[in-house]
Structure 1
Amino acid sequence: MLKNKKKMMLLAVAASLSVTSLVGCASKSTDTGSSTPAPAGTAAASTAPAGPKPELKSLQIWQKDDYNTYPVAKYLEQATGYKVQYDMLPQDKPQDKLNILIASGEPYDAITTVGSTDFKALYADYAKKGALTDLGPLIDKFGPNIKAAIDPTALEAAKIDGKLYAVPTKTTPFAGESLYIRQDWLDKVGMKAPTTTDELVAVLKAFKEKDPGGNGDKNIPLTVKGEAPIIPNIAGAFGIANFWNDVNGKLTPRVLDPAYKDYVNFVGDLFKQGLLDKEFAANKDATAKEKFSSGKAGVIMLHWADVPTINDALIKNIPTAKATYIPTLKGKDGKMGLSASAGFDRITYIPKSSKHAEDAIKWMNAKLEKDTFRTMAIGEENKHFTLKDGAYTPILPIFTDERNQANNFLTGTDDKIYPTYWQARVRKDMRLFDAWNFMNTIQPANTRIIDPLGFAPYLPEFSKNFQQLNTMVNDYTTKLIFGAEAITGLEAFQAKFKTSGGDASFKEVNDWYATAKK
């Protein structure tokens, strides 16, 4: 009875700490230093005082392998001098578990979560309720590497009410999705990859009329998944690459952007002409991929991380098939762009219940010693990777075995060099690298449109409303393209959008944006 009562009280406290779960709205540098890893223990010796160090307790995001036995954990213990007991949040409903652990005062010395909007909201809620340690004074005293290595913009964005309660790990900024096309189909119809929206229409018409895949009435020029009616690359050609875009100096949701109507009319016309998959609204991600890899579709919206898997399936079905990404499309007024991520990949904070907050900061600081950080992230030269002309290339299979999940041990990165180290991960498969490289290096820098809200601080109204507004816009966009709604009702929908949190979000976002531009 007492046990049940205690459990009910605990859950009640957890509920008071929780906030609404939301759906979250991954540059080049060179390393001129030696790539020889530091001998075990030397990195921490220069910054940590002599004497025994306490064992730390760290809560991490879920991963498939035990953190405690993963090779990176052993290396970090040797390099920093700190033994750490790692626990994991569950894969399913991690927010619920985290709320309970925070409410119960579990004495973790560090908690690392993903940096998505829902977890940023939790972090802000914990900070405002006094559950977290103010890290500013600790970092000033014990975190010189943290201050030197981490982008000041990220540190500033992690503040809540002017105080820093977390060490942020930046997202590596890259464009993720674009239009992937059957090159052999292009060759059969005698055309080059499209570079404008008009050229895209011409290619899709050729795919429909000349049926280079030999599919007959099952031929699909372009397929996409139903939950993503805003098609990357096409959307950028209309100036709405991101959910929020700068329109005359104001950040504006794309549904309120005058270009939204033009985009919907364009994609709706593709649908009417039979150039867009007639079943797109019902497509799951796997369905769209099956249509492409089986040879039925000529173009698909695809993330570069999926290229090897899609290519393997495609070649298995059609051994002579070839596929590639198209360039970033230009619209009629010259607009173009792929959405590029920005913000936090991870956030790490220290709860007030920690018994070793000072040592936790010293530990995070030691992890950012130059050689320690590199060895943690990508391993040892000539064992885990090779270095030639500034390019880090993994040695397989040991890189995958011992560093594939190293990113889960990050508590802040050396933001000047990590984007270069990170590329070792995409060089595990050159098809992966070529796809990533085309979008993020070969294509001009102005084709990647950074999410303008990536480094915005916690915005309560925006966070509260984003999931609902995003779902509203996606559902409405699908209906417009499909013809289930008429474009004449756009103003009425925009009015509904505004009263459903759009106006409150717009004001809050632009109050911040006005100060951020100064």
Structure 2
Amino acid sequence: MMKATKSASMLLMLALSSTLVLSACGNSEPDKTEEPVSTTDKTETTATDTNKESEPAKSDLKEYKLTMVYPGGTQQDEAKIEDEINKYLKDKINATIDLQPIDWTAWEDKVNLMIASRDPVDIYFTAQWTKYAVNVGKGAFLDLGPLLKDYGQDIVKTLDPVFLEGSKINGVNYGVPTNKELAAQGGIVYRKDIADELSIDMSKVKSIQDLDAVFATVKAKKPEMTPLYLLKGENFDAHYFGNFDALGDTSVPGILLKDATDTTIKANYDTQRYVDTLKLTRDFFVKGYINSDAATTTTMNKDALKAGNVFAMTAALKPGKAKELETELGLVGKLGQIELNEKTVSTSETSGSMLAISTTSGDPARAMMFINLLHSDKYLNNLINFGIEGQHYTKNGEIITPTDNTKNYAPGAAWMFGNQFLNYVWNSEDPDKWEQFRKFNEGPKVSPGLGFVFDSEKVKAEVGAIVNIDRQYQTALETGSVDVDKVLPEYKDKLLKAGVDKILIEKQAQFDKYISEKK
């Protein structure tokens, strides 16, 4: 399904070699020179004067109701937000929208069913870590090239080309990436107030191993509190924490280490970091640090943290991640974050958050018009992300302050929808948040797989079989819920019988060819 072209990889390398200053970030004021401007600069210019020429006359459009499906919890005031969005969209593109969030823990299964059933959906959230390539292979998403050209001009203007090039499959865009941070880093978000109460010096935590003493203290002094909350996809062996580059879809076996130089593709069970982390996680589980239902829970880690009986969770980090969560979860002043791996960048970051248009859409053009507005229209972008001014927040310039009703609409989904650089900044966050994003994107370790994505067409039967095996074993192993020495060999045996070696050989051959053509 996926194969990077030489020209695409060169574009990626050129963009990233300039310390990623141009990757979705920039100064707070528009650049007045003719030098290349950053994404933030271009976005702010566009946001003040949406490209009217790209907007079709409302009278030319028949009224249409869009359906957008994305992961997240249903918000109490969701209907109010929909009403406000619909009033605005009627004037803009003569459309209304039905927001359909799906709980995180049910997301994958429900989306698989919707796609298999050919449900009439217009827009799906998608990403390389949630079977983007697999779903493209199923014919779930449209080729967006013509739609971007005709109805996505603001997207093309404001989004760094690295995102659009790096998220292509066989040279085709099937998703529109969110304009956000490009570098990636893993770590934990923790209850800073509890650490202070228990006199735990979190500055000493530099590795996963260092957390042992922290969690032991929490367990001893706060027995009612879970020291570490893990679940499917949110654990120490998640791709963002292990710095694993799957060279495309994370559901397809075969990984490299993003922070190393080795170009030999291995299965996870043959990757020492992965296995060592499984064993450490198991040790934490046996010691009672991890929630006992980690392998089966349907409660998202953020919700568990919000409930007040969890000390820490793993997280894909960025500047101000803990501050964002403080407002979303009603824990202002109580959270901290610690980075526990090297900052990296790979092709997968360009497709880490996207909106795709379904092949069942009744009006793909209208769907693209809506996505285009999310990338260019400041009012709409902040409405869907933060709710209604005066009800869910008050505003002073670009700084917003929570109200008593903020809890009724706090989807925490700004990283999913359009252009983050249009977002207001909470008063509990750093007012220079977007400048911090620019700095975050500077100088990451570049994965040896940057610019390459795997075409799994020749091994799609094997990939399909392995997806089912992973469901049976992967979460149990990665949350420490089972004996690694006993279960990992069983998992490996099942993978070998399902043809994992065939996938690895094909992936390595494609990658070797890609490397040789780059030279």
Same fold (TM over 0.5): yes
1:70 Cα deviation from its structure 2 partner: 2.7
Which residue of structure 1 aligns with residue 164 of structure 2?
155
User: CA–CA distance in 2 between the matches of 1:185 and 1:376?
Assistant: 39
For the structure 1 residues 506 and 294, does the alpha-carbon distance in structure 2 shift closer, same or farther, using more than 3 Å as the test?
A: same
1:260 aligns with 2:274: yes
What corresponds to 1:343 in structure 2?
A: 351
Structure-2 residue corresponding to 1:7: none
Q: In structure 1, what residue type is equivalent to 2:339?
A: T
User: Which residue identity is paired with 1:476?
Assistant: L
Displacement of 1:231: 2.7
Cα distance, 1:394–1:250 mapped onto 2, change above 3 Å: farther
Structure-2 separation of matches of 1:229 and 1:141: 38
Write out aligned runs for 1:224-235 (5 A). 224-225=229-230, 227=232, 230-231=235-236
Mark the CA change 1:76 to 1:513 in structure 2 (over 3 Å): closer, same or farther. farther
- How many positions carry a matched residue from both structures? 437
CA distance in 2, matches of 1:164, 1:443: 26
Q: Describe the SS at the equivalent of 1:394.
A: strand
CA distance in 2 between partners of 1:96 and 1:233 (Å)? 24
Alignment partner of 2:154 out of 145, 148, 170:
145
- Tell whether 2:340 aligns with 1:329: yes
- Name the CA distance, whole Å, in 2 between partners of 1:448 and 1:185: 31
* Aligned equivalent of 1:61, options 68, 78, 91: 68
The reply on whether 1:126 has 2:139 as its aligned counterpart is yes
Show the counterpart of 1:71: 84
Which of these residues, 367, 374, 380, is aligned with residue 376 of structure 1? Answer: 380
Identify which of 6, 26, 29 aligns with 2:26: 29
Match of 1:486 in 2: 485
CA distance 1:452–1:469, change in 2 (3 Å): farther
Distance 2:475 2:156 in 1: 40
- State whether residues 63 and 95 of structure 2, in contact with CA within 8 Å, keep that contact through their aligned partners in structure 1: yes
Q: CA deviation at 1:115?
A: 0.8
**Is the Cα–Cα contact under 8 Å of residues 58 and 84 in structure 1 kept in the other structure?**
yes
Amino acid at match of 1:343: S
- Whole-angstrom distance in 2 between the partners of 1:148 and 1:291: 40
CA contact under 8 A between 1:328 and 1:338: conserved in structure 2? no
Match of 1:367 among 368, 373, 376: 373
Q: Which residue of 2 aligns with 1:500?
A: 498
Structure whose CA Rg is larger: 1
Between the aligned partners of 2:306 and 2:82, the Cα distance in structure 1 is: 38
Q: What CA distance in whole angstroms lies between the structure 1 residues aligned with 2:512 and 2:366? A: 39
The CA deviation at 1:397 is 5.3
Partner of 1:469: 470
In the alignment, what sits opposite 2:289? 276
Q: Is the 8 A contact 2:229 2:291 kept in 1?
A: no
1:393 equivalent among 399, 415, 423: 399
- State the match for 1:18 in structure 2: none
Tell me by how many angstroms 1:420 deviates.
2.6
1:180 aligned to which of 177, 190, 193: 190
**Which stretch shows the higher mean deviation, 394-403 or 218-227?**
394-403
Return 5+ residue gaps in structure 2 as ranges: 1-23, 31-40, 317-321
Query: In angstroms, what is the RMSD of aligned CA positions?
Result: 5.8
User: For residue 194 of structure 1, what is the aligned residue in structure 2?
Assistant: 204
Cα 1:145–1:202, aligned 2, differ >3 Å: closer, same or farther? closer
Q: Alignment identity in percent?
A: 14
2:17 equivalent in structure 1: none
TM-score, normalised to structure 1, is 0.60
- The unaligned stretches of length 5 or more in structure 1 are 1-26, 316-321
Report the counterpart of residue 421 of structure 1 in structure 2.
422
Q: Does 1:111 align with 2:122?
A: yes
Distance between the aligned counterparts of 2:272 and 2:370, measured in 1?
A: 47
Give the whole-Å Cα distance in 2 for the aligned partners of 1:284 and 1:506: 31
Equivalent position SS for 1:73: helix
Q: Which amino acid aligns with 2:399?
A: T
